[in-house]
Structure 1
Amino acid sequence: MSFVLLDQPRPHVTLVTLNRPERMNAMAFDVMVPFREALEEIGRDNGTRVVVVTGAGRGFCSGADLESPGRVPGVDGLTVPTIALRSMELLDDVIRALRRLHQPVIGAVNGPAIGGGLCLALATDIRLASDTALFRAAGINNGLTAGELGLSYLLPRAIGASRAFEIMLSGRDVDAAEAERVGLVSRTVPGDKLLDTAYELAERIAAFSRPGVELTKRMLWSGLDAASLESHMGHEGLGQLFVRLTTRNFEEAVQARREGRPPEFRD
């Protein structure tokens, strides 16, 4: 059985499905290792312009699998403390792999995203949720810290510091309606419309200039890390100049508007 499924439901759109529904797509290493490898493969696929990530069954990802965690590769001969470090590094790499992808990533959160599953959702660039989705920073409920896999970095940037503190320290559930209200997701739709909504958004993004889209993704994440507006504006301006001066995309957009047709960006 393949724990990660790849499909191309629309031109230039790749769907990645975590496929362990009987365990709510928990983050067993048997799932996360092929998931990371799939992301690396997609990053080399120039035919893919946008990625959609979802979960099979009724859940997006239920976080760490405490009953059947699978085997961490490459740990033969290591002691428990080092195995623990390798394990966390592997999971961290999954979050980094999502961020490093050239292509924008849409998280189609079809159900519970708990603990590490919330981290996976936050690592995507755009999050859409079904009306049955819920989110929980579960570590605090298990006697651990609520911060894992970048959660204490990503969540405050997504919804603001006070809300993030409250959600992480209380360990409570955030339903789909609240998630949309606080900005954890950009949109909530009925479950049977979730993937089609994600595909429609992906197709719209894929129709734009490749360097324009890829640089915009980089600039948005860079802006969240920028030390100052002044420094970020310099990088942003260089990205704009790069596309403006090395392509005829702007001229094509103007001409297409004059002719009442969609532009064909050839970069």
Structure 2
Amino acid sequence: MSGYTTISVIREGAVDWLTLNRPERLNALNATMVCELWDYFDGLQCDYSRRIVVMRGAGRAFCAGLDLVWFNNSQGSMPRGATDKGPGPSLADIVLKMRSCPQVIISLVHGAACGGGFNFALASDIRIAGRSAKMNVAFVKLGLSGCELGTSYFLPRMVGTSVAAELMMTGRFVLADRALAAGLVSQVVDDDQLEDAARVLIDDLLAASPMGLRKTKEVLTLAAESEDLATVIRLEEHTQRVCMEAGSFAQTVDAFGRKKVARAEEKVTNATS
């Protein structure tokens, strides 16, 4: 977890708290942050000891998108990491790693979440917004297409084609209340309550079996890519069999049965005493 300079990661049991940590630049993206984020999410791909990632931004914003000062100083090249073998990962590579990792990703969005920062929120599984949140598709404001980093994949599925087209074609900001109404976020709280809201959600997520949680994310992702209901149902049935064979289902049913018997016995005892 050490060695990063633009992000910080604190591990609490099975939960990682990932903080974008360039507050003086509103956590805007440069090559170093791209490389460090890719390295972090790449390391999660087969690490089942970590079950949840909470992604947030230090200071006044979640992530203001591309660092334009860095961009100008780098002669107009889009942010990529650097390796000994040449160009490193891109922003798109990070989005793909976020979707393929088995952990549930919760984004806590406050302040600006623009461009690539907005896409990090979109690539997360669950989004909670602070009341200061303002999100937008910044690419179209910079003379580029509004379709980049998966925006045209994520947004129509979340908010419908009409709202997605409006946001992607105009670059308008979406504030917290509209984001909630459109289904873009699942909850809106005061900024200083974001961590508390995340912890309540974490408790519920950790109550699920590790495999059940992983498989739910996996099937949700695959189902979003399929338009055939029968295919999705077969996938769900296969996944349920895998989870049953893992043993947690039988243990849960057994525990539930024992609790019901205990409650019934307690009622009889109370009635006869």
TM over 0.5: yes
Deviations along 1:121-172, one digit per CA (max 9) or x if unpaired, are 1000111111100111111112211111111111111111110001111211
Indicate the SS of the match to 1:107.
Answer: strand
Structure 1 gap ranges (5+): 78-85, 261-267
* Contact 2:48–2:102, Cα closer than 8 Å, also in 1: no
* Contact 1:106–1:128, Cα closer than 8 Å, also in 2: yes
Matched, 1:26 2:28: yes
Deviations along 1:58-110, one digit per CA (max 9) or x if unpaired, are 11111111211477414988xxxxxxxx67x6111100110111111111112
Runs of 4+ in 1 over 6 A off after TM superposition: none
**Paired letter, 1:125:** D
Q: CA deviation at 1:44?
A: 4.2
Per the alignment, residue 243 of structure 2 pairs with: 243
Matched, 1:121 2:121: yes
Q: CA deviation at 1:246?
A: 3.4
Q: Distance in 2 between matches of 1:152 and 1:257?
A: 47
Q: Which has the higher contact order (CA 8 A, sep 6+)?
A: 1
**Paired letter, 1:162:** S
**Paired letter, 1:6:** V
Q: Distance in 1 between matches of 2:124 and 2:166?
A: 22
Compute the TM-score of the two structures, normalised by the length of structure 2. 0.85
Compute the TM-score of the two structures, normalised by the length of structure 1. 0.87
**Paired letter, 2:144:** L
Q: Aligned in 2, Cα 1:231/1:45: closer, same or farther, shift over 3 Å? A: closer
Q: How does 1:1-267 map to 2 (within 5 A)?
A: 2-8=5-11, 10-69=12-71, 72-74=81-83, 90-256=90-256, 258-259=258-259
* Contact 1:13–1:199, Cα closer than 8 Å, also in 2: no
Q: Distance in 1 between matches of 2:216 and 2:248?
A: 18
Tell me the percent identity. 34
CA-based RMSD: 2.1
Q: Aligned in 2, Cα 1:140/1:127: closer, same or farther, shift over 3 Å? A: same
Indicate the SS of the match to 1:145.
Answer: coil
**Paired letter, 1:7:** I
* Contact 2:38–2:93, Cα closer than 8 Å, also in 1: yes
Q: Distance in 2 between matches of 1:248 and 1:236?
A: 17
Q: Distance in 2 between matches of 1:170 and 1:34?
A: 31
In our comparison, the structure showing a higher alpha carbon Rg is 2
* Contact 2:44–2:102, Cα closer than 8 Å, also in 1: no
